[in-house]
Chain A
Amino acid sequence: MKTNKVILVSLFLLGTILLTACGAPLSGSSWPGIGSNGDVLYVANMQHVYAVRVADGSMVWKYPEKAGRQMFFAAPVLADDQLLVGDYENIFHSLDPNTGAEKWTFTQAQGDWIASPLVVGDVILAPNADHFLYALSRDGSLLWKFETGRALWAQPVSDGEVVYQASMDHKLYAINIRDGSLVWSVDVGGAVIYSPTLDVEERTIYLTTLARNLMAINTDDGSIRWQRQFEGGMWTQPALNEGRLYLGDLQGTVYALSAADGSNIWSQKVEQPVTGKATIVDNRVIFPTENGSLIAMTLEGERLWSRSFEGKLYTGPVVAGDRLAVGIAEGKEFLKMVSLDGQDLWTFVPPK
């Protein structure tokens, strides 16, 4: 009888673990987020935020010391003496970038912090999945909040006066930074996952939507300058460089387009779904793919090199000096440093 009880309880425990595991993606399924100041990388991955030296991949600190329920994926943002990062337990953290010590937390949001914050002057603009864009002061107190129709997964962009926030509710909002009042909003016809790209000089925002559209929007009034529909889905944001937009689609084509009207300058088949923003560095454009490859091309579309990682890439590499930090999802390792030619420099292994 006692044995039966033990078996029964064990079966329940096993069942609980299995079913909870099935539900795990709800609370923690994303790719590593990376920020850098040139010397140190700040990497949010799973239950920790790590500070890692660019030079040799050694760890400076990790936060929190002991893993808890918190999951971190949004790329940490460095703002002078603060490292800002949100978690998937509704808490927004300010950390000391030198030690990882917690300075303050903001706990009034009701959803996951999927997108990175943006810091404009003394205002921290932090979008949350609870539909609100929160404006915080440097000490973490709430200045104002702006409600949209659905979750916010995209980092906002700003020209210093107005913050532009794309939402899953198919809209792009222009909001006054001083008081959080709406300047204008525009329906872009589909949910926006990735952050828009802002060209302050041209007063234009470029964004992709789940409706397979690439759009250029006038920041003065929200009018659409031009839009272009693609056959393959877009899971990326356009990278802007000298009047050109570089991006790829899920069907495996990469493009260089004119930022003025969206017309093709060149396109190339890479035969892999392009997922994440391309990185432009040293006169080359580097595309990440879901198959785990980095594909480097000249700005005119000639292939320079490609290399594969074990895992998947959902964001382009982060430039740290003359190196590229690669955040890898679903792989054995989640952070690798490579040279601008794609050669391995080091792999980060968190100390136990």
Chain B
Amino acid sequence: MWDALIITPFINTLLFIYNLVGQNFGIAIILFTLLIRVITHPLMVKQIKGAQAMQELQKNEKWIKIQEKYKGDREKLAQEQMALYKELGINPFASCLPTLIQLPIIFGLYQAIISALASTPLDLLRLIRHIYPGLLQVESLIPLNSRFLWMDLGQPERLFIPGLSFGIPVLVVIVVLTTYIQGKLIATPPANPKDQTAAMSNMMNLYMPIFMGYLAYTLASGLALYFIASNIIGILQYAMLGKVNWGNVFPFLNKQSPDTKSAGQKKSYSK
């Protein structure tokens, strides 16, 4: 069921793109990621709007009052919260549902890339069985050209420079950086910086790049390429929606108040 509905169509789309772009698997991964992100864009917009509505709710006077009033009675608190959701027309699941729908698609994308990178005979046999014979010709398609730039997309990536006895994991560095930057850019200032949600969010921003970097270091570089494409496209999507907070990455953009400006000017003048 999962294979027939998600994996097989994804693999065929990926390989169809691969054929279209002159059998370049790196370009195919980037375009396929872009395609999936464009298709799931409406879901992402809904998710952002839902999350924003929930965040604004935290500042709502009625919400704060309810929290105070019923902090010892969880059941009553839940009832009152639900009533307030209704009153304000907020769906508390509006940000979760689109994410839940996107998750299988993201997992499918990941699995499709892994399957297409078949690097052993058994993986290849499985891949061949996924291919629609009417759409693609196995004999001309296999083996896939997994070379992209200096990489073999079926192997973990290392860039070997003459004179160095070890390879540099360039993609890992880019994965860590883009994941970190994406996390920072889309982070919205919490209603209360001291609450647990804010702390969790900060920890996520710290651990996520390390986690993704570890995966990129150990798994095939085709996946690292997908992570990078996905991060960059994600940043662009948020930017298009005006939800990117550049000040989180470039703090000087936040220091545009007249006071700080004049302080800066004074400093430069004193030189």
Contacts and interface: CB of A to CB of B under 8 A. Distances in A.
Contact of A329 (B122, B199, B207, B214): B122
A41 interface: no
A189 interface: yes
Interface residues of A, number: 41
Given A26-B114, A190-B139, A16 B214 contact: yes
Contact of B215 (A5, A20, A112, A209): A20
Contacts, number: 91
A189 B154 CA distance: 24
B128 interface: yes
A211 B137 CA distance: 9
A110 to B, nearest CB: 8
B207 A9 contact: yes
B254 interface: no
Interface in A121-171: 129, 150-151, 153, 168-169
B114 A235 contact: no
B142 interface: yes
Contact of A168 (B114, B143, B155): B143
A296 B123 CA distance: 28
A112 B119 contact: yes
Nearest to B138: A210
Contact of A210 (B111, B142, B215): B142
A182 interface: no
Contact of A1 (B119, B128, B199, B220): B199
Interface string A2-37: 001100110010011001101101101111000000
A335 interface: no
A12 B211 contact: yes
Contacts of B15: none
Contact of B139 (A16, A22, A73, A211): A211
Contacts of A129: 119
B111 A22 contact: yes
Interface string A314-336: 10000000000000010000000
A114 B123 CA distance: 12
A252 to B, nearest CB: 14
A129 B155 CA distance: 11
A16 B215 contact: yes
Interface string B211-229: 1001100111001000000
B203 A8 contact: yes
Interface in B136-156: 138-139, 142-143, 152, 154-155
Contacts of A26: 114, 117, 119-120, 123, 154, 219-220
B238 interface: no
A23 B221 CA distance: 11
Contact of A15 (B111, B123, B152, B211): B211
A8 B124 CA distance: 37
Nearest to B219: A23
A111 interface: yes
B196 interface: yes
B interface majority secondary structure: helix
B139 A4 contact: no
A331 B111 CA distance: 23
Given A4-B199, A25-B114, A314-B122, A191 B215 contact: no
B204 interface: yes
Contact of A191 (B110, B142, B154, B220): B142
B143 A189 contact: no
A200 to B, nearest CB: 26
Contact of B122 (A22, A30, A112, A212): A30
B24 to A, nearest CB: 15
B161 interface: no
Given A129-B119, A329-B122, A22 B114 contact: yes
A114 B120 contact: yes
Contacts of B199: 1, 4
Contacts of B211: 12, 15-16
Contacts of A25: 114, 120, 122-123
A162 B93 CA distance: 69
Nearest to A71: B120
A29 to B, nearest CB: 5
Contacts of A4: 196, 199-200, 203
Contacts of B114: 22-23, 25-26
B164 interface: no
B125 interface: yes
B162 interface: no
Contact of B207 (A8, A73, A112): A8
Interface of B: 110-111, 114, 117, 119-125, 128, 138-139, 142-143, 152, 154-155, 196, 199-200, 203-204, 207, 211, 214-215, 218-220, 223
The 3 closest A-B pairs by CB, nearest first: A211-B139, A23-B219, A168-B143
18 contacts: A8-B204, A9-B207, A20-B219, A22-B110, A23-B114, A23-B219, A23-B220, A23-B223, A25-B123, A28-B120, A29-B120, A29-B123, A111-B155, A191-B139, A193-B124, A210-B138, A211-B138, A233-B128
Interface of A: 1, 4-5, 8-9, 12, 15-16, 19-20, 22-23, 25-26, 28-31, 73, 111-112, 114, 129, 150-151, 153, 168-169, 189-191, 193, 209-212, 233, 235, 275, 314, 329
Given A5-B203, A20-B219, 19 more contacts: A1-B199, A4-B200, A12-B211, A16-B211, A16-B214, A16-B215, A23-B218, A26-B117, A26-B119, A29-B122, A30-B120, A111-B155, A153-B121, A189-B139, A190-B139, A211-B138, A235-B125, A275-B125, A314-B122
